[in-house]
Structure 1
Amino acid sequence: MIGTFCLVLHSHLPWLAHHGRWPVGEEWLYQSWAHSYLPVIDVVRRLADEGRRDLLTLGVTPVLAAQLDDPYCLRGMHDWLGGWLLRAHGAAPRLPELAAREHGLASAALGQFETRWRHGASPIFRELADAGACELLGGPATHPFLPLLDPRVRTFALETGLTDAGRRIGGRPAGIWAPECGYAPGMEYGYADAGVRRFLVDGPALRGDTALGRTVGDSDVVCFGRDLDVTYRVWSPRKGYPGGRDYRDFHTFDHPSGLKPARVTGHTVPPEHKGPYDPERAAVAVARDAADFVRVVRERLAAIREQLGQPGLTVAAFDTELFGHWWHEGPAWLEAVLRALPDAGVRVSTLRGAVDAGLVGEPVRLPAASWGSGKDWRVWAGEQVADLAAQGAGVQRDLLAVVDSPGCRSLPRDPLRDALAGQAMLALSSDWAFMVSKDSAAGYARSRAELHAARVSELSRLLLDGGRAAAARLVAGWGEDIVFGHLDARGLRTDAFHP
């Protein structure tokens, strides 16, 4: 083998259940579920059924896993798939070829969901992990940007998330996708205390030296860097395979049905002039781009082997939602690549497998980093979102003020304090600042951050003033906004915190 290739997929959406439906809200969950999670997992399952192992490393954030197991979301997803089928029926008189194609896709997705997913995603993920087909990554509870958190809140978020994963899949993950690949010097010690042995950073944090995993500082925690030369071949801020002219265009809709009838055609071609989507042309493009990617990986690993004097490693990491949701043909491309790489002399493995194979180099000191714009923290703490960063700091102060208040240490588990911690976790999600910085449904993001922060502020005031009856009425009015039933705010107390 010329070297090792690790594919890492990061599956994440914020908590959307009960917070709007369309165009912003639960629709995001159901679209990603139907067009990415279902087909990507189907690819992994079919390859696993052939006896293939260590196919990829799959990150599923706790807040997404909670929605993929939630009975309300499962009912909503089933309804959404039925709606997709009806939309295909409705388009038949006007667009018969498109309607027939979408009817087939919707029927297949509905069949998969009804036979494999109706009891939630966790049994599926656990089965694939137990079979050795993939390694599962965990993460902190609601995907907060960890460098901006108080150490106690950071530890609590990570512990809550890892505990949640353990309950769902039968064991705590030893690897995480650090939210937004965010890192601050010293965070590796918190990871080690939590049992985390490996995590992701972006390539520039390692100055592009991503040919091996690296232990961080004097810890035994290993970081892996995204190889941007390889990753950006697929998807970058400016280019990548999904923009190919023969792929289905994500942005062009048949508005009466909501279906997508066009191919990309060209980047400057307006929607009304785009050519019709042709699955056969798209299949040719998939084969071409899969072969190109395999060539790129081989060349990269050959250069690494020459540089190191031994086989090395390349890590390509993407959002799972790219494959299928954003890039309709993405799952087919994934399958083609995973089949072709071993035949091209490339060992396909997981991050755990890379460590087991000894693909770990000398220790490294990491700088403050992320995978956002500028590879620093500006997306989550820059001028454009300074108010959200300040709001998040206030949320943490309110939360810790209640936890540290007199008498709290002697109290048993308290559902009101648990509710306070749960709302704080939702307020601190990194998604809100990201969406504002990128001007992607920024109004929704601000409203969600403000909603949860206001709840924390009001509930903390009532608890500090001794108004437990009013606090109980307040929490009861929040309805179904309980993400983690096992969340225990006592984990934030100073006597439970080990720096």
Structure 2
Amino acid sequence: MTAYGAFTFVLHTHLPYARLAGRWPHGEEWIHEAASETYVPLLTTLYDLKEEGVQFKLTIGITPVLAEQLSDDTVLFNFVEYLDNKIEASKNDVAIYSTATSTTETTLEGARENNEHLGYLASWYQNYYETVKSEFLERFNRDIIGAFRQLQDEGYIDIITCAATHGYLPLLATDSAIRGQIQTGVASYERLFGRRPRGIWLPECAYRPAYVDDEGNIRPGIESFLREQGIGVFFVETHTITGGQPVGIAAGDVIGPYGNIKRRYVIPSAKTPTIPARAATTFKAYYVSETMEGAQAEQHSGVAVIGRNNSTGQQVWSAEWGYPGDFDYREFHKKAGTSGLQYWRVTGDKVDLGHKDYYHPDWAEYKVEQHAEHFSHLVGDLLRAYHKQTGEYGLISSNYDTELFGHWWFEGVAWLGKVLRHLANHPSIDLTSACDFIEQHPPQEVLHLPESSWGAGGNHFTWDNGDTNWMWGPIHECEGRMKKLANQYDDPSEGERTVLSQAAREALLLQSSDWPFLVTTGQAREYAIQRFSEHVERFNRLALSLEEGKPDVGFAVEMWERDKVFPNINYKWFS
């Protein structure tokens, strides 16, 4: 049977730079937690599928700043320590509940049963973390990035890149800063994955076309910077393609940190009018217009764009009816005071945390199979309907933050594996990657994209609002100083090059979209402000030493030892 369409998961894998920048509740432990709940379990699932002979394919974006951290010896050493602590905590809970069970009066059968079940769950968690540790040390040889690289080399996944530190590109004031973010990201990718990237996840799916600035200069559209690096495809939010009101993630009714924004703010309307609805569809890829030629230009840039499919996306993203809200799945927000382990299930719609029922892994496993089968049927139904309506071979790109699976939705990694198994056996659906799809089915139409993101309201509000606007002045000032220094030093001494390189790293780190995001969502407001301010202060000290002709080499070396990121950076990328 000839396939009538293709499907790809697009997983965006990212965490802020947190190496040696605190452990708990904010800092490097974010990486350890995600590695234990998402990255290692995902690798286990994909390698299991490979060994079973399942011919799966998907797109995985790993941001350069996260890939650097997952390759760092210190971070990985601390990860093993984190796993050991989790194993010890679960063992302690086993002992606590075993003692409580043996000393509970036989007349209190309910209490005895509860303690027995909690003891079972503690033992279950002990086995879980011991398995993660074994997989990491033995199966993947302490090399998470290497394990992903091998899957790409063998043709199972397509790894795409991102801007170096997830900088919010549309709001950067200079072309040199945008170019520095992208070129540093590409160089990091080449070093870690042994090839150049074919695709990119724009940070926060944030795009802007070319425009004329206040001084009359034409600022190129984002697609121009991608083309310079040979990048052929990127992704945008649904409404950027179809027009109309923002939906899904941009509408704010989602699980995870993006959902916090709608709960904390009344989101203002976009500064530009709502994008009019149009005939474009997320079932197609399009070439992005050459926006340097004007808003109505028919020329295309050579760079393709794919929109997020909302119908499949909301099955996971939706806070109201997505799979993760099923009553039998593990409750994310309630943790045991003894160990921090999560022993409860969702239980019911809007059930208070104090009234949650205990988690039953076997109940959750049954639901995973049901939901994987439902999703697979949905993909087939959507592609079949599109083909019947248009006669065309369609694409569904189902885009998510990778950390939704395993971390926010504990059972999500198992669900991903089952969906891939179902779809790999579907005779009418081709599993693909985004980059393969573009090469095999080049776009036939050119599309003019509006300025947009997948943030609240579909615009820049999440990163530029009353609580974060103060950050952009220092960011823009640092951009200008970095550009001036890069242009000034054509033949630096070894010491000057050391300081210039570290200044470039600090410029990238302070540009991270994570800092305003964490302020807006309220997740880690004080931590984000502290981290942002530290990187600004470090950059200013390094830049001033160069401007005064007294490069502070000692401080640059000290900061390099602390950060250990982007070792092959070239400060000239910022000129």
**TM-score when normalising by structure 1:** 0.95
Q: How does 1:202-221 map to 2 (within 5 A)?
A: 202-207=237-242, 209-217=281-289, 218-221=300-303
- Cα distance in 1, alignment partners of residues 158 and 558 from structure 2: 39
- 1:304-362: CA deviations, max 9, x gaps? 21332122011101011111111110011111111112434322111122123316341
- Cα distance in 2, alignment partners of residues 491 and 357 from structure 1: 33
Partner residue in 1 for 2:60 = 58
Aligned match for 1:404, one of 487, 491, 496:
487
Partner residue in 1 for 2:567 = 485
- Cα distance in 2, alignment partners of residues 29 and 7 from structure 1: 22
Q: How does 1:98-113 map to 2 (within 5 A)?
A: 98-113=121-136
- 1:405-455: CA deviations, max 9, x gaps? 3xx123256010000000110000011111111111111111111110111
Shifted more, 241-250 versus 334-343: the winner is 334-343
Aligned match for 1:445, one of 528, 537, 554:
528
Question: 2:323–2:371: 8 Å Cα contact kept in structure 1?
Answer: yes
The answer on 1:69 being equivalent to 2:150 is: no
Aligned match for 1:256, one of 338, 350, 367:
338
Deviation at 1:177, TM superposition (A): 0.8
**C-alpha RMSD of matched pairs (Å):** 1.6
Residue 53 to residue 361, structure 1, CA distance change in 2 (3 Å):
farther
- Cα distance in 2, alignment partners of residues 359 and 88 from structure 1: 52
Deviation at 1:118, TM superposition (A): 4.1
The answer on 1:475 being equivalent to 2:556 is: yes
Aligned-pair identity (%): 33
Q: How does 1:9-158 map to 2 (within 5 A)?
A: 9-93=11-95, 94=97, 95-149=118-172, 150-158=174-182
Question: 1:53–1:132: 8 Å Cα contact kept in structure 2?
Answer: no
Partner residue in 2 for 1:321 = 403
Question: 1:399–1:420: 8 Å Cα contact kept in structure 2?
Answer: yes
Q: How does 1:67-466 map to 2 (within 5 A)?
A: 67-93=69-95, 94=97, 95-149=118-172, 150-185=174-209, 186-207=221-242, 209-217=281-289, 218-236=300-318, 238-344=320-426, 345-358=428-441, 360-405=443-488, 408-411=489-492, 414-466=497-549
Shifted more, 38-47 versus 472-481: the winner is 472-481
Count of aligned pairs: 489
- Cα distance in 2, alignment partners of residues 488 and 327 from structure 1: 39
Deviation at 1:403, TM superposition (A): 2.1
Deviation at 1:29, TM superposition (A): 0.6
Residue 326 to residue 482, structure 1, CA distance change in 2 (3 Å):
same
Shifted more, 192-201 versus 454-463: the winner is 454-463
Deviation at 1:287, TM superposition (A): 1.4
- 1:207-248: CA deviations, max 9, x gaps? 161111111111111111111121011113554111110000
Amino acid at match of 1:155: R
Deviation at 1:201, TM superposition (A): 0.9
| Structure 1 SS opposite 2:8 | strand
Partner residue in 1 for 2:218 = none
**TM-score when normalising by structure 2:** 0.82
Amino acid at match of 2:510: A
Amino acid at match of 2:203: P
Residue 221 to residue 53, structure 1, CA distance change in 2 (3 Å):
farther
| Structure 2, unpaired ranges of 5+ | 98-117, 210-220, 244-280, 290-299
| Structure 1, unpaired ranges of 5+ | 494-499
- Cα distance in 2, alignment partners of residues 242 and 361 from structure 1: 37
* Larger Rg computed on CA atoms: 2
Question: 2:507–2:535: 8 Å Cα contact kept in structure 1?
Answer: yes
- Cα distance in 2, alignment partners of residues 250 and 391 from structure 1: 36
| Structure 1 SS opposite 2:347 | coil
- Cα distance in 2, alignment partners of residues 239 and 64 from structure 1: 31
Aligned match for 2:5, one of 3, 6, 10:
3
- Cα distance in 2, alignment partners of residues 410 and 311 from structure 1: 54
Deviation at 1:107, TM superposition (A): 1.1
Question: 1:245–1:264: 8 Å Cα contact kept in structure 2?
Answer: yes
| Structure 2 SS opposite 1:384 | coil
- Cα distance in 1, alignment partners of residues 484 and 464 from structure 2: 23
Amino acid at match of 1:190: F
- Cα distance in 2, alignment partners of residues 154 and 111 from structure 1: 41
- Cα distance in 1, alignment partners of residues 185 and 493 from structure 2: 22
Residue 247 to residue 462, structure 1, CA distance change in 2 (3 Å):
same
Deviation at 1:37, TM superposition (A): 0.2
